């Protein structure tokens, strides 16, 4: 056993609870242990101005890589991956995660309909809580950090693809943060303090003995009293998602391609359209070009059933956590953050 209490960086604990990842690349959990970060591809982004340019850019990217059987698609039941599915050659492989839990959202039905329409070879990967228990430690060791709740499911989908001889997966992340998909966060203008309260996943002071305020991370996007929500979502929110996807897929020995992340919208988002109920309005136009007459399937992105899985967990026991956490007021996703952080700290202590 290694004594880590005196070495732990309190910023890392607070950042993980508040933002679901360590939001400074230079931060170390303990001296010498920094989370694994993917290389940024922002210098290679293609500027797009409208739906036609988005479709042309996506089509060109997919055509460059989808020339053989070694490219597959992570296919949900939603619009973003449906667009990519329509651009793949017929016969390409597609993989959908289905969570095995009571009342969980089953995306595989809608995904199967998309796969049939596009002529894709569709595979459903069933993921249980036992799978999370079995694989989360290896994924945390690979990441050198606790996990976003999507990572075990992504890892198992990528592992299934690799076993089928498909070592590269096209994924749809970046569509939300780059094209106005997080409509609840874009639904109004926020002050800095309002946005901090709205976005923070779990307030560190409610759970940690030695919390560090995350206000400086948010304050970088304060613009004279008006919060730059779009900039925050692209940079801070988006980087955490990219890190999670890359870790899960690379830990499976695979690689990912992220067509939406390689696009840059060259005009400001039309917030009025989003606030009238048109999130990702440009991608909706692309979708309707590819699927004329077919409604966009409403979905919850990667809807992992944490409320079910974490229902009976009664909270952390390590000394870094408060002893008076009101677990009954926490959501399953918030409990997951605590559970995963405690398990990661136990791994650190075990060496």
Task: State the pLDDT at residue 300.
Answer: 60
**C-alpha–C-alpha distance, residues 54 and 15, integer Å:** 34
Residue-wise burial string across 256-288, b where 16 or more C-beta atoms lie within 10 A, e elsewhere: bbbbbbbbebeeebebeebeeeebbbbbbebbe
Which whole-number Å values give the CA distances from 246 to 34, 131, 285, in the listed order? Answer: 16, 19, 28
DSSP for 72-108, please give it: EEE--SSHHHHHHHHHSPTT-EEEEEEE-STT---TH
pTM value? 0.94
Helix (H) or strand (E) holding 257: strand 255-257
Token look-up 């590819």 returns: 290
Which of helix, strand or coil describes residue 122? Answer: strand
Q: What is the pLDDT of residue 77?
A: 83
307: which 2 tokens? Answer: 């409320």
The confidence score (pLDDT) of residue 189 equals 95
User: Which stretches in the chain have pLDDT values below 50?
Assistant: none
Per-residue pLDDT, 40: 57
Please report the pLDDT score of residue 2 as a whole number. 62
Query: Which pLDDT tens digit goes with each residue over 21-55?
Result: 999 999 999 999 999 998 655 557 899 999 999 99
Structural domains of the chain in order of their starting residue, each with its CATH number: 10-350 (3.40.50.620)
Q: For residue 299, what pLDDT is reported?
A: 62
- Residue 104: the pLDDT is 75
């Amino acid at each position: 056993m290694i004594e880590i209490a005196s070495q732990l960086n309190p910023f890392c604990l607070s950042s993980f609870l508040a933002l679901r990842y360590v939001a400074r690349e230079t931060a170390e959990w303990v001296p010498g242990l920094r989370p694994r970060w993917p290389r940024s591809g922002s210098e290679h982004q293609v500027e797009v101005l409208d739906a036609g340019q988005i479709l042309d850019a996506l089509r060109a990217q997919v055509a460059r890589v989808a020339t053989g059987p070694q490219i597959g698609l992570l296919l949900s039941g939603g619009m973003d991956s449906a667009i990519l599915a329509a651009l793949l050659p017929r016969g390409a492989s597609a993989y959908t995660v289905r969570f095995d839990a009571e009342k969980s959202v089953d995306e595989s039905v809608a995904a199967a309909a998309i796969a049939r329409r596009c002529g894709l070879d569709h595979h459903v990967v069933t993921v249980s809580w036992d799978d999370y228990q079995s694989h989360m430690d290896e994924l945390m060791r690979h990441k050198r950090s606790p996990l976003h709740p999507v990572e075990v499911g992504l890892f198992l989908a990528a592992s299934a693809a690799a076993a089928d001889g498909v070592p590269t997966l096209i994924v749809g992340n970046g569509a939300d943060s780059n094209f106005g998909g997080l409509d609840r966060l874009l639904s109004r203008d926020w002050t800095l303090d309002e946005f901090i309260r709205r976005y923070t996943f779990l307030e560190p002071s409610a759970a940690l003995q030695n919390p560090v305020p995350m206000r400086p991370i948010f304050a970088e996007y304060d613009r004279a009293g008006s919060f730059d929500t779009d900039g925050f979502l692209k940079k801070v929110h988006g980087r955490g998602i990219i890190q999670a996807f890359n870790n899960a897929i690379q830990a499976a020995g695979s690689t990912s391609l992220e067509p939406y992340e390689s696009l840059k919208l060259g005009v400001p988002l039309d917030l009025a359209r989003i606030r009238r109920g048109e999130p990702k309005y440009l991608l909706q136009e692309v979708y309707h070009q590819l699927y004329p007459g077919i409604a966009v399937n409403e979905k919850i992105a990667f809807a992992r059933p944490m409320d079910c899985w974490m229902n009976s967990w009664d909270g952390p026991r390590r000394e870094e956590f408060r002893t008076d956490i009101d677990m009954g007021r926490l959501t399953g996703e918030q409990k997951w953050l605590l559970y995963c952080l405690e398990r990661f700290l136990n791994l650190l202590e075990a060496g």
